[in-house]
Amino acid sequence: MHSTDVLHRLSDTVDGFLRSEKEFDLADPAANGLVGGRFRALGDQIGATVLAGVPEEDVAAIVQPAKSACARSPFMRDENEWARGYPSDFRLVEHVLAQANGGAPGTLGWHVEAQLQRSALAQQLRNRVVHQARLIGDCLTAPRSGPRTILVIDAGAAPDLRTLPPGIVRPGDRFVLTDVDPDALELAQQRLGPLNEFTTAVPGNIFRAIPKLAEQGPYDLVLANGLYGYLNDRAAVRLTEAVLTKLTRPGSTVYFAGTVPGNEFRWPLEYLMDWQVIERDEQAVRALLPRCDVSVTHDPTGLALLTHARVR
């Protein structure tokens, strides 16, 4: 298809999405499915346009009015504005976990927000938090000869730790949290309650924080959350080497989550939310983990790749 035809089709899809405000009764919750259909069609058409070879700047220019309309959804505005200066802001994570809708009822933003909160995209984030909490619980309750030390990288406000059942932590167990955003760690401290007694926070860039983290180790479990999705292969290998050589001991477990290639949310994320994630398949993540026994699974949505490695 000629690029001009593809651009016209994208422009028409953007117009159709924006016409939702006039053609649907947005005060009626039943309109949500109709808005959702046009939102998904917009994402599909963005992808088709990019794959047809249209320059990114041309796609972005045509999509801009829809991006502005979507920004009325707090879910998407947080990402568009990059309030903390980088994507995947911890406050957005907390917003998704709360399953809240901060949009004004009866607006396009409200309907976009409702669609996103019910989407597999949001659910996989919740699933990942639950999975990390399970890994922490398994580490703490496994047969052992001494206390456990657990490191959470890209910890945010520690939603995984906050779900631990009372009494699971024993004397001597320690949690170390690190995040580039000190405000995230401050919120964690506010919400962890009695677990603060067992927790140490190390703010800063992960690569510069390695020496301080090593002083607190070695660790029985290292959780990197979704950080690898923002690291190119060179940086990911560098982090892996640091974790394996400086932070763990034989038998330790290293875990991180990633996004599978070819998922339907890629184009809306990139062009409507300015949220770019490096996607990797199983072969690619295994290449990042030499000297480890690796197992890779998916979360129930199929969107998240959950990588577990046991240090030899």
Structure confidence by residue, pLDDT tens digits, 27-39: 998 899 999 999 9
- Please state the pTM of the whole predicted model: 0.91
Structure confidence by residue, pLDDT tens digits, 238-272: 999 999 999 999 999 999 999 999 888 899 888 98
Max Cα distance, the chain (Å): 68
Reported confidence tier of residue 312, pLDDT bands at 50, 70, 90: confident
Q: Which domains does the chain have, with CATH numbers?
A: 3-118 (no CATH), 122-311 (3.40.50.150)
Please compute the mean of the pLDDT values over residues 147-159 and round it to a whole number: 96
Q: Report the C-alpha gap between 31 and 106 in whole angstroms.
A: 10
Tell me what pLDDT residue 231 has. 93
> Three-class SS of residue 301?
coil
Within the chain, strands assigned E span 149-153, 174-179, 199-203, 219-223, 248-259, 292-298, 304-311
Tell me what pLDDT residue 74 has. 66
Tell me what pLDDT residue 89 has. 73
User: Cβ distance 231 to 239 under 8 Å?
Assistant: yes
Within 204-265, strands assigned E span 219-223, 248-259
Q: Residue 38 contacts by C-beta under 8 Å, 6 or more apart in sequence?
A: 13, 16, 17, 20
Q: Report the C-alpha gap between 312 and 240 in whole angstroms.
A: 14
Reported confidence tier of residue 2, pLDDT bands at 50, 70, 90: low
Of 14-18, 101-105, 120-124, give the lowest mean pLDDT range: 101-105
User: Cβ distance 86 to 35 under 8 Å?
Assistant: no
Q: Report the C-alpha gap between 165 and 179 in whole angstroms.
A: 24
Bridge-based pairing of strands 199-203 and 219-223 is unpaired
Tell me what pLDDT residue 215 has. 97
Q: Report the C-alpha gap between 148 and 41 in whole angstroms.
A: 49
Please compute the mean of the pLDDT values over residues 278-304 and round it to a whole number: 93
Kindly provide the b/e burial profile for residues 114-133, where b requires at least 16 CB atoms within 10 angstroms of the residue's own CB.
bbbbebbbbbbbbbbbebbb
State yes or no: pLDDT of 127 exceeds 90: yes
State yes or no: pLDDT of 83 exceeds 80: no
Go through the chain and tell me how many residues it has: 312
Round the average pLDDT of the chain to a whole number and report it: 90
Please compute the mean of the pLDDT values over residues 285-301 and round it to a whole number: 92
Q: Report the C-alpha gap between 92 and 103 in whole angstroms.
A: 14
State yes or no: pLDDT of 166 exceeds 80: no
Please compute the mean of the pLDDT values over residues 61-84 and round it to a whole number: 72
The one-letter amino acid code at 75 reads F
Helices and strands (H and E) in the chain: how many: 13, 7
Tell me what pLDDT residue 143 has. 87
